Each structure stands twice: as C-alpha cells, then as structure tokens.
Amino acid sequence: MGLPSPCDAHAFTELPLPLLVFAMILKLRYPEVSSIKGLLGALRTDKEKKQWQLELVEEKVHKLMRHYEIPLDPMISTGLIQLYTARGLMVHASKALLRMPRIDSVAVTIFLHGCVIHKDMKSASTIMRNLGEANVTYTISEDLEDKLRTAGVAFGTNVTIVKKAVEWSWVLYNGT
C-alpha cells in the first residue's frame, strides 16, 4: 500500500524538502488531508522554527483548508496538537484540542503526554477539567495515568484507564 501523498514520504526528513514537496502539491493539484498532515510532521521536527512562526501555523492551515474546501479532519487537529506539544506550546495545543469537532482519545493522549514531558500539570488539570465539564469521554493508558496522578492530576468519571497504549497514539508522539 502506497502513501496517499508525496509529502507524507518526506514528513520525517529534514527541511526544506517537505516544504518543497508541499509547494509542488499546491502548484500541481489540490492538497489533501494527508499532505497537510505530512507538512505538520515536517514542521514538528524543525528545530529552527521560532515560537512566533509556529503560532501562525494553525491559522495558516485553517486558511488553506477553507480555500481548498477541505473539511476539518481529526488528523489535522491531531497534527497541530503534536506540533505544539513537541515544542512545549501547551496553550496552543490546548486550544487546538478544544477546537476539534470531535475530541478523541488519541488527541487527548498526545496532549497529556506533552504535559508530562514538559512538566506542565496545570495545563493537564485544566484540560481534564474542561473535558469533564463538557462530558467528553476518553481513554488513556495506565502508564500515562500513573505519571499524571503522581504529579497530582485528578481524574473525573469521564476517563477510562486501559492497560495498553491508547490506539496508535504512541506512534504519533514517538520521536518528537
């Protein structure tokens, strides 16, 4: 099975190759969710980008999606959350999470894992409280739950704890 987009193949290579591939996609045809996701993956690994440049990514991605009439996809939202958590921009990550049309366990796990890595338990507690108040149910792994609980984060009844990794989230966040 091939990759749906050439940009996906270059998402984990060094810049500027993914940006050049994405520019070619825009020039030759309409972008797809997978090409935008690949671009976000490439930006996530770019250590040269400054915080203010990364803060503009979400706005530009949404503008691009509106222009090409691409519906908001969970992969795009998850990619934005990954990008922001990898760089420790937890405020932006939480905004991207709360803007998701349907919040899923993968996105929540990526966000909470980022909170653990960057030792930002205030953001973890805030997002868990917001999701609890909105009656959003999600699943996290026992390992993540242990790390959060050890750091003093409380859990509501909307959280299910499982012994294994949640869906494919470990693949998404691994290496960031």
User: What is the per-residue pLDDT for 173?
Assistant: 45
Residues in contact with 116: Cβ distance below 8 Å, sequence separation at least 6, in sequence order: 124, 144, 147, 148, 151
pLDDT tens, residue by residue, 96-114 = 999 998 999 999 999 999 9
Q: 90 and 36: one domain?
A: no
Domain residue limits at 166: 72-173
Q: 157 and 116: one domain?
A: yes
Q: 77 and 31: one domain?
A: no
Domain count, the chain: 2
Residue 126 CB-density burial (10 A; 0-12 exposed, 13-18 middle, 19+ buried): middle
| pTM greater than the 0.85 cutoff | no
Q: 19 and 106: one domain?
A: no
Q: 80 and 25: one domain?
A: no
Res 57 pLDDT > 90: no
Residue 65 belongs to some domain of the structure: no
Residue 61 belongs to some domain of the structure: no
